[in-house]
Structure 1
Amino acid sequence: MSLTKFGVVVREYRRNLGLTLSSMASTLNTSPAFLSAMETGRNKVPMEWVDKISALFEKEGVNHNPRYLKALACESNESVSLEGLPPQHRMLIAGFANSDLNQEQLAKLGGVLSEIYGEKIRDDD
């Protein structure tokens, strides 16, 4: 099974740290199968696990953006929770969900998000 965009980034950081699925799972008190299922998209990525993984990367000195990791998890999950978001954010998300933006417009917005996140948005399906 292929990796999700979330899985690609998590695996890259994990491997750069020299962590196996087993060692990372042990550190996070979970199973390697659970982490693998999140990386490959067999399971949805719970947001609390994005926070745990992000905290591990931060502790290990990985220069990453937790918001970017959350965005990738939402994309992999094919859902975004509106819970707790301010009205402006909810309206913006609803607007995007119901828009008919063309590829050029989407590319421009992707560039803006890249600047916000400080990381290249990966567009390799």
Structure 2
Amino acid sequence: MAVTKFGEYMRILRIKNNLLMKDTADKLNVKTPFLSAVENGKKKIPTDWYEKLCSIYNLSSEERKKLKLAIEESTDTVKINILNCNESQKNLAFQFQRSFPNLDEETSKKIIELLKGDE
């Protein structure tokens, strides 16, 4: 059974907090099979779960970052808000979207390093 990064992180949180999957499902007001399907990537992660999980598990800022990253890495689509972007940024987003399927690993790594320079 394939588990997403989100599923892996959720298991860590449950173990750390001595909770069962059912306990977390109850706190999220969902059935256990639904939570399992989300963790296995068969269902999308509901958008309100990030805040709920931060509250349920009383996550520190570092744990919040890890949860956010796990959610991002488990998502099969990415949306970019270009509402307040200038034309150059908009063109970059559209070009990246068109070129993304054809990027090789070396080029991908170069782009990541270039973008990390701004962090």
Length-normalised TM-score, structure 2: 0.66
CA distance in 1, matches of 2:92, 2:54: 26
Shift of 1:34: 1.6
Runs of at least 5 residues in structure 2 that lack an aligned partner in the other structure: none
Q: Is the 8 A contact 2:50 2:68 kept in 1?
A: no
How many percent identity over aligned positions?
Answer: 26
Q: 1-side partners of 2:94 and 2:62: how far apart? A: 31
Which structure has the greater CA radius of gyration?
Answer: 2
Aligned length in residues: 111
1:1-125 map, 5 Å? 1-57=1-57, 59-61=58-60, 63-64=62-63, 65=65, 66-74=67-75, 78-82=76-80, 86-87=84-85, 92-99=92-99, 100-110=102-112
CA RMSD for the aligned pairs?
A: 3.1
SS of the aligned residue for 1:29 comes to coil
Any unmatched runs of 5+ in structure 1? 117-125
Give the SS at the match of 2:62: coil
AA aligned to 1:7 is: G
